[in-house]
């Protein structure tokens, strides 16, 4: 494997790991269900896609590459759909978003 391909694979793997960790931090830091779903939904899809692309770059060609590609296609279709379905079910169940109720200071103009 060429050095550039190895570097690109590791960049994808490390970037995917970074997005996975940032999604986990967002899951714990955000105040309500909907902002948590947004944080994990976006970063989960990007995290898994980057990690799978990094693994595809390391796999070379063959059956392993085909399996990783099919897994990537499946994740890109199902992860956003599952996030949307969970948020819609929560809204249908009566869970309302937490809105900012602080009063804004009067404008100076």
The continuous run of DSSP H or E covering 89 comes out as helix 63-92
Let me know if residue 108 belongs to a domain.
Answer: no
Q: What was the pLDDT predicted at 98?
A: 82
Let me know if residue 68 belongs to a domain.
Answer: yes
The continuous run of DSSP H or E covering 27 comes out as helix 3-29
pTM for this predicted structure: 0.81
Let me know if residue 101 belongs to a domain.
Answer: no
Q: What was the pLDDT predicted at 75?
A: 94
Would the pLDDT of 72 be above 90?
A: yes
pLDDT per position as a tens digit, 17-29: 999 999 999 889 9
Let me know if residue 104 belongs to a domain.
Answer: no
- Band of residue 97 on the pLDDT scale cut at 50, 70, 90: confident
Would the pLDDT of 84 be above 70?
A: yes
Let me know if residue 82 belongs to a domain.
Answer: yes
Q: What was the pLDDT predicted at 101?
A: 67
Residue with tokens 């990007």: 46
Q: What was the pLDDT predicted at 109?
A: 60
Total structural domains within the chain: 1
Q: What percent of the chain is helix, strand and coil (3-state, nearest 5)?
A: 75, 0, 25
Closest by CA to 27, choosing from 48, 42, 46, is 42
- The range of the structural domain enclosing residue 68 comes to 3-92
Let me know if residue 47 belongs to a domain.
Answer: yes
Let me know if residue 105 belongs to a domain.
Answer: no
Rounded to whole angstroms, the Cα distance separating 16 from 22 reads 10
């Amino acid at each position: 494997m060429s050095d550039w391909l190895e570097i690109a694979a590791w960049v994808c793997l490390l970037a995917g790991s970074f997005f996975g960790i940032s999604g986990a931090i967002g899951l714990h830091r955000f105040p309500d269900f909907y902002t948590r779903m947004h944080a994990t939904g976006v970063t989960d899809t990007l995290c898994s896609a980057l990690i799978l692309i990094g693994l595809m770059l390391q796999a070379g060609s063959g059956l392993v590459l085909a399996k990783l590609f099919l897994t990537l296609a499946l994740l890109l279709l199902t992860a956003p759909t599952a996030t949307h379905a969970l948020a819609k079910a929560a809204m249908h169940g009566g869970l309302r978003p937490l809105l900012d109720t602080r009063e804004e200071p009067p404008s100076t103009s």
